[in-house]
């Protein structure tokens, strides 16, 4: 296991100490060994220790005192206690003081290596989560709004920055829950219109007659119940940005009126003959293929081309799985702050399960899972019990599980066509055949 961390052995018996060192070296782990707690402290405070393995009985300060000092300095540092046979009470005290595990003498090198590996995996995951938190805390600008390290999200961020200052209308295409409104908000925030209103309207969320009034406004007496003038969303967005979500659900008569506003940049309130100049950027979002809808005569082709000056394709979460750890860390941190609860530990096994899941609800579903984890509520995607005790799964097992799930998903998506699956996964067909056979797919 390649890591920048070192295993620290604290043992006063030179023979036992040598045996532990050799076991670590044979396992390919970097190791340092000292004979006392006093000698161990400088190594711990240097910040390079991944796991502490300490005997209970040491000269001067004992192993239990060392574990407590380690916990005070770095609560995420796993410590493994070596106890004599029958020292159950001491082992329990060690666990209560924050020890990761304990081993009773005599023990085999294999047992020691296995416990150390599991502790080191926990340390590596904790370290990675800490790095992600630090990255999230220091992300400014667009990276703090559109989170993700995948190439797909990098392209989205760059395109947003490229077109934010331009006056063109924009179409955002993506599945439900993948963050289309966040992209629209970013387009507004990084343009010169940022100080003017950002106005959002869900076109599928109201009846036709109300949508007409909401978009274009009305004069007093324009229809029954119109007791006073109302400024519509388009007019209210003057100088700013109008975001039209689910634009594919807009009725045909509304599409005609919207097209005229986009072409002439003028509108008339219901019940008025006065034209009002319109200066707002229109950002529309759709979960459907609007060109296909236009060919089916359920969406106006001329409106499609008017909106589709620039199209931002937002990928679903299953196509940018490498963003899941950062997003999950971000969402659990937000949820912990919102609900005034501690942020749960994200184990390797839990992260593997999150990475393997298909996420039909996309980022919105991931955020819901994060909320449930923080609240301690059962969720259909991840059981709360997965956050505790799941760390017994090794890193190699987690990788195998993720690889199997990813290959299986691609095989299903391509109808079992191995050649297309290999192309999608960017691996050789012979390599994919070997992996399919190994995973029993």
Q: With beta carbons less than 8 A apart as the criterion, state whether 400 and 418 touch.
A: no
The predicted structure's pLDDT at residue 388: 46
> How many Å separate Cα 431 from the centre of its chain?
29
The pLDDT tens digits of the residues spanning 323-370 come to 998 899 889 988 988 888 888 877 777 888 888 888 999 999 999 999
**C-alpha distances in Å from residue 106, one per residue of 27, 62, 87, 261:** 19, 19, 13, 83
245 bridge partner residues: 202
How far apart are alpha carbons 324 and 370 in whole angstroms?
Answer: 11
CATH of domain 145-315: 3.40.50.300
The predicted structure's pLDDT at residue 391: 42
- CB contact set of 86 (below 8 Å; sequence gap of 6+): none
Question: What does the DSSP 8-state code read for residue 51?
Answer: E
Residues of the chain with pLDDT under 50: 1-2, 138, 388-392
CATH 3.40.50.300 positions along the chain are: 145-315
The pLDDT tens digits of the residues spanning 22-32 come to 999 998 899 99
Indicate the helix (H) or strand (E) that contains 161.
Answer: helix 151-163
Entry pTM = 0.61
CATH 1.10.8.60 positions along the chain are: 318-439
The predicted structure's pLDDT at residue 23: 93
Burial of 293 (0-12, 13-18, 19+ CB in 10 A): middle
SS3 7: strand
CATH 3.40.50.2300 positions along the chain are: 6-137
Burial of 60 (0-12, 13-18, 19+ CB in 10 A): exposed
Four-way CATH pick for 6-137: 3.40.50.2300, 3.40.50.12280, 3.30.70.20, 3.40.50.970:
3.40.50.2300
Could you identify the residue written with the tokens 């005599």?
106
How far apart are alpha carbons 274 and 268 in whole angstroms?
Answer: 6
The predicted structure's pLDDT at residue 1: 46
Q: Write the class of the CATH domain 318-439.
A: mainly alpha
- CB contact set of 280 (below 8 Å; sequence gap of 6+): 193, 199, 234, 237, 238, 239, 240, 241, 242
SS3 118: helix
The pLDDT tens digits of the residues spanning 372-425 come to 999 988 777 776 655 544 444 555 665 666 677 778 767 777 777 888 888 878
Cis peptide bond N-terminal to 239, omega within 30: no
Q: With beta carbons less than 8 A apart as the criterion, state whether 311 and 285 touch.
A: no
- Cα–Cα nearest to 185, from 171, 173, 202, 199: 199
């Amino acid at each position: 296991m390649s890591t920048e961390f070192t295993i620290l052995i604290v043992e006063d018996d030179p023979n036992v100490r040598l045996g532990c060192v050799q076991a670590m070296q044979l396992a390919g782990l970097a190791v340092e060994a000292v004979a006392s707690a006093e000698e161990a402290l400088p190594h711990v405070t240097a910040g390079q220790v991944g796991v502490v393995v300490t005997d209970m009985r040491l000269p001067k300060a004992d192993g239990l005192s060392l574990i407590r000092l380690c916990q005070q300095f770095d609560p995420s540092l796993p410590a493994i206690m070596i106890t004599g046979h029958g020292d159950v009470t001491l082992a329990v005290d060690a666990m209560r003081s924050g020890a990761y595990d304990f081993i009773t003498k005599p023990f085999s090198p294999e047992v020691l290596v296995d416990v150390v590996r599991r502790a080191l995996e926990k340390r590596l995951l904790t370290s990675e989560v800490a790095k992600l938190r630090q990255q999230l805390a220091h992300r400014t600008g667009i990276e703090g709004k559109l989170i993700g390290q995948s190439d797909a999200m990098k392209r989205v961020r760059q395109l947003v920055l490229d077109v934010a200052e331009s006056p063109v209308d924009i179409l955002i295409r993506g599945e439900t829950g993948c963050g289309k409104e966040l992209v629209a908000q970013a387009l507004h925030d990084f343009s010169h219109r940022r100080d003017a209103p950002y106005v959002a309207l869900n076109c599928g969320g109201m009846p036709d007659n109300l949508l007409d009034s909401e978009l274009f406004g009305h004069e007093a007496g324009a229809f029954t119940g119109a007791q006073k003038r109302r400024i519509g969303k388009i007019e209210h967005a003057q100088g700013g940005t109008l975001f039209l979500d689910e634009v594919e659900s807009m009725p045909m008569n509304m599409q005609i009126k919207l097209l005229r506003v986009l072409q002439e940049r003028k509108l008339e309130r219901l019940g008025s003959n006065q034209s009002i100049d319109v200066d707002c950027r229109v950002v529309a979002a759709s979960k459907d293929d609007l060109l296909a809808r236009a060919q089916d005569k359920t969406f106006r082709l001329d409106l499609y081309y008017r909106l589709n000056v620039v199209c931002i394709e937002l990928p679903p979460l299953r196509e940018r799985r490498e963003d899941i750890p950062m997003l999950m860390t971000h969402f659990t941190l937000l949820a912990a702050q919102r609900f005034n609860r501690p942020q749960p530990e994200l184990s390797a096994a839990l992260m593997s399960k999150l990475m393997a899941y298909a996420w039909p609800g996309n980022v919105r579903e991931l955020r819901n899972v994060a909320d449930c984890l923080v609240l301690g509520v059962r969720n259909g995607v991840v059981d709360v019990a997965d956050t505790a005790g799941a760390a017994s799964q090794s890193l190699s097992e987690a990788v195998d599980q993720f690889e199997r799930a990813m290959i299986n998903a691609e095989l299903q998506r391509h109808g079992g066509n191995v050649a297309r699956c290999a192309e999608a996964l960017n691996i050789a067909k012979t390599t994919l055949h070997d992996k399919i056979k190994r995973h029993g797919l």
